[in-house]
Amino acid sequence: MITLGFEGTAHSVGVGIVHNKGKHCTVLSNVIKTYQPKKGGIHPREAANHHATSIADVLSESLKQSHLRFSDIDLIAFSQGPGLGPCLRTIATAARALALSLEKPLMGVNHCVAHLEIGRGTIKDCTDPILLYVSGANTQVIGFAEGKYRVFGETLDVGIGNCLDKFGRTIGLSFPCGPKIEQYALKATQYLSLPYSIKGMDIAFSGLLTAAEEYYRQGKPLEDICYSMQETAFAALTEVTERAMAHTEKKQVLLGGGVAANTRLRTMVGTMARERDASFYVPIKDLCVDNGAMIAWLGHLMYQSGTRMSIEDSVIDQRFRTDMVKVTWR
């Protein structure tokens, strides 16, 4: 079965095409285009405009790279939420239009669950992981338990990517700031104390952000602040992930989301996994960030396991929670 998926929950618009070989996912194409704000963070309307202008090109490019024709597509999937309303509505409209004109079934999927399923679909041996999902808006520790995807821990305020971006903007960096902060951190000479905030399995970053900005105002070296932010925030993320693994007795950990590109975070989670005899997995970069292939793959899994969606049910949900998803494929 061949599935085409539309992604567009935040700054990226993407179209991916996947094909299943048994239970394994083969990505035939995965084109992503990212909206770059001129200044500040993502403006939802501007991002949606960007997606509306780009989507036709992204779609044709994806089809071209897959060497397929529209008539080869069996199913159209799209991210139904969570995300920014205007962006979600834009790509949902595109997905509905394509599904209706091709007379193919439509499937709206949960974006967060898609991040986990693409790991299971594309990485051999990654069968039942705890996912540490770290992006701009989202920071969640997700795992499958008692018939559902459950959130074992999540941020109580901002996502880790957002926290790094906000600090980056304070010091005059352009979006995305994470990679630049990572570069600064490499040249640090000392650790500056920052609040380490864990409540049960949940986590908070706003105190850390305020303290880091205060260090900046005091004129402390940027390298040291960036290093200290990474060390503190990532240690806390690794700790909550380990707690979820201990709690659920799972032996696999998967990293997903844009911040998964950070080498230091990968090293920390990898070390944690090794020390508790667990396996550590990260999908390739284009499947870690927001992308259409993961949406297509989850759409495929849902359709194959009997889920159907009418156009009327395809309304977007900005607050579509991970634990609201009815899991029919596991």
Partner 1 sequence: MKKQVIYRGAEAEIILSKYRGKPAILKHRIPKSYRIPHIDSLLISMRTKEEAKLIIEARSTGVSVPIIYDVDLQKGTITMEYLQGKRIKDILNNLQEKERKRLCQKIGESVAKLHTHDLIHGDITTSNMILLDDRVYFIDFGLGGKNSEIEAKGVDLHVLMEAFESTHSKHPSCFTYVLEGYQNESPALAKVVRVKIDEIVKRGRYR
Burial of 13 (0-12, 13-18, 19+ CB in 10 A): buried
Among 62, 79, 238, 262, binds partner 1 (CB under 8 A): 238
Q: Which is nearer to partner 1, 117 or 231 (CB)?
A: 231
Q: How many CB atoms lie within 10 A of CB 61?
A: 15
Residues contacting residue 74 through CB under 8 Å, at least 6 positions apart = 1, 2, 3, 104, 105
Distances (CA, A) of 12 to 18, 33, 34, 107, 109: 19, 6, 4, 20, 16
What is the phi/psi pair of residue 209, to 5°?
-65, -45
Contacts 24+ apart (CB under 8 A), 152-156: 152/201, 152/240, 152/243, 152/244, 152/247, 152/248, 153/200, 153/201, 153/202, 153/203, 153/240, 153/241, 153/243, 153/244, 154/202, 154/203, 155/202, 155/203, 155/204, 155/205, 156/199, 156/202, 156/203, 156/204
Among 103, 125, 146, 312, binds partner 1 (CB under 8 A): 146
Q: Which is nearer to partner 1, 142 or 177 (CB)?
A: 142
Site string for partner 1, 295-324 (x = CB under 8 A): -----------------------xxxx-x-
Among 156, 186, 311, 315, binds partner 1 (CB under 8 A): 156
Among 64, 199, 285, 326, binds partner 1 (CB under 8 A): 199
Q: Which is nearer to partner 1, 49 or 279 (CB)?
A: 279
Among 17, 245, 282, 301, binds partner 1 (CB under 8 A): 245
Distances (CA, A) of 230 to 155, 171, 178, 187, 235: 16, 16, 10, 13, 8
Single out the segment in contact with partner 1 by CB under 8 A; choices: 1-9, 10-18, 55-63, 227-235.
227-235
Among 56, 97, 186, 246, binds partner 1 (CB under 8 A): 246
Told to check if 239 binds partner 1 by CB under 8 A, we report: yes
Told to check if 29 binds partner 1 by CB under 8 A, we report: no
Residues between 167 and 186 that touch partner 1 (CB under 8 A):
none
Among 168, 231, 255, 283, binds partner 1 (CB under 8 A): 231
Among 18, 27, 177, 272, binds partner 1 (CB under 8 A): 272
Q: Which is nearer to partner 1, 32 or 272 (CB)?
A: 272
Tell me how far apart the alpha carbons of residues 194 and 192 are, in angstroms, rounded to a whole number: 6
Single out the segment in contact with partner 1 by CB under 8 A; choices: 5-13, 64-72, 117-125, 147-155.
147-155
Q: Which is nearer to partner 1, 171 or 235 (CB)?
A: 235
Q: Which is nearer to partner 1, 14 or 153 (CB)?
A: 153
The site for partner 1 (CB under 8 A) is made up of 81-82, 137-138, 145-146, 148, 150, 152, 154-156, 191, 196, 198-202, 231-232, 235, 238-239, 242-243, 245-247, 267-269, 271-272, 275, 318-321, 323
